[in-house]
Structure 1
């Protein structure tokens, strides 16, 4: 009898000798249901809103400092009813999508070149790292001299702020691909296209999407500041208008809409990331 057959016989004998009572019962040892992440994420904001409402109702927060939640809700419904909020949200969203699209495409191309070509990386990557240390808003006065305060300025600063993390994430992701995988591709006689498609890209996808998500967050932050600086439309302008009129409820409504819109886009990008990594879903199902 072979060694494998001997081990199989002993395993079967041990399994049959085990009493039924000693075997774990799946029905008795059910795991407690985990609380959904969405519920946990809403817990703390809900607590803050309840605390805010209670403090305003007790008169602890003057309306000149922080309006009550009821006033915020009334302002929100009024802006939705007359179409003002939809107009400004549409303009801001278009600016973010255009600026982020330009920055993402340029950042992916530049980051891929830096990650794949050591010569390109040696020449051009250090200046990008230096520019990344300076906030794009510091360049706005200089850019305004050449571009004015019209739409091209907003697209440029949004694209700039979005491109930096995309470049860094893409270059780092490609560089971090294990040399062992590249050697495996050479052993399998992969050409350049197959190496990029089957080895480099799957290994760099997590870092690439991390850069894209950070770039999208930067795009929204830069949009609001750009509209505060030079705009007569958009959510950032709505904040400026409310501050000038001392209508803090208008400012808070615009802030909440910016946060919700940014979160919605981030969730959409997360969904795209999951679709781009089907192997992660399979691994999660196994575990």
Structure 2
């Protein structure tokens, strides 16, 4: 085949080959970034696990204080097989789900009102600031007097813990929507409802979801705290029971499960946030 004929045959394919090359490079870069994130995630276990194994093997601490990793795995397997772990995790998950849903919904409503109206913010913020300064744990004695030690107490404490960060981030996010977005809405002569739906709410998605993620983290902290003080079931109760009986393997199992569930729930919110921000262009002001 002559050079001219070969060039005529290959030229139409060059853009397609270049496109495939760019796609493969992007896939490779994305895979590399994921590997880097996974590597950072595994640094702490990679450091602590060998120290744990060596320390228990040489008896640096008594087994009642630091059980062996194989003992923890054995306890985890037994608790999964017996259904005990699923039962306690189910209690905790239901409490977090109800409490977080109530606290986050109330926080979104209050934060939106404060962010959209300066007058509402002036009236509500002093009281909200005073409430926010009192930790969720400090409300437990008063809540016990009013609600007893049943499920209502746990739901209220969890809801309060989630309420505060959601209000703070939602109000700040709505009040600080980039001016460029607002100017676009004004150019198209949006009505107030259209401005809210198409400009304000989409533009405030990042801080709102930051508040939701912080609220979920605080909800888990409040859950464990209230279960430590007033519960006979749940992952927090496992921590107390294991400490009282000097079953440190049970304590570590409960801690691991709490960490895994909290990490997974935060990642779920992060995925939802990323899907809601597909349109967003970085560094728009």
TM-score interval for Structure 1 and Structure 2 normalised by the shorter chain = 0.7 to 0.9
Instruction: Give 1:10's aligned residue.
Output: none
Instruction: Give 2:57's aligned residue.
Output: 57
Instruction: Give 1:245's aligned residue.
Output: 245
1:71 and 2:71 matched: yes
Instruction: Give 1:170's aligned residue.
Output: 170
Deviation at 1:44, TM superposition (A): 1.8
1:279 match: secondary structure? coil
- Equivalent positions of 1:190-201 (< 5 A) are 190-201=190-201
* Long gaps (5+) in structure 2: 1-20
Work out the CA distance in 1 between the residues paired with 2:195 and 2:168: 21
Work out the CA distance in 1 between the residues paired with 2:180 and 2:93: 43
- Equivalent positions of 1:1-287 (< 5 A) are 33-34=32-33, 35-280=35-280
Q: Which moved more, 1:163-172 or 1:48-57?
A: 48-57
Work out the CA distance in 1 between the residues paired with 2:183 and 2:127: 31
Q: Which moved more, 1:174-183 or 1:65-74?
A: 174-183
Deviation at 1:249, TM superposition (A): 1.0
Give yes or no for contact 2:181–2:203 (8 Å, CA) kept in 1. Answer: no
Work out the CA distance in 1 between the residues paired with 2:126 and 2:172: 13
Cα deviation digits, residues 162-203 of structure 1 (max 9, x gap) = 010000000000111134533442232101121012211122
Work out the CA distance in 2 between the residues paired with 1:283 and 1:112: 24
* Long gaps (5+) in structure 1: 1-25
Deviation at 1:48, TM superposition (A): 0.6
Work out the CA distance in 2 between the residues paired with 1:184 and 1:241: 58
With normalisation by structure 2, the TM-score equals 0.85
1:165 match: secondary structure? helix
Deviation at 1:120, TM superposition (A): 0.8
Instruction: Give 1:8's aligned residue.
Output: none
Instruction: Give 1:9's aligned residue.
Output: none
1:63 match: secondary structure? coil
With normalisation by structure 1, the TM-score equals 0.84
2:279 match: secondary structure? helix
Q: Which moved more, 1:57-66 or 1:67-76?
A: 57-66
Tell me the C-alpha RMSD between the 2 structures.
2.0
Cα deviation digits, residues 256-275 of structure 1 (max 9, x gap) = 10010100100111111111
Work out the CA distance in 2 between the residues paired with 1:76 and 1:185: 55
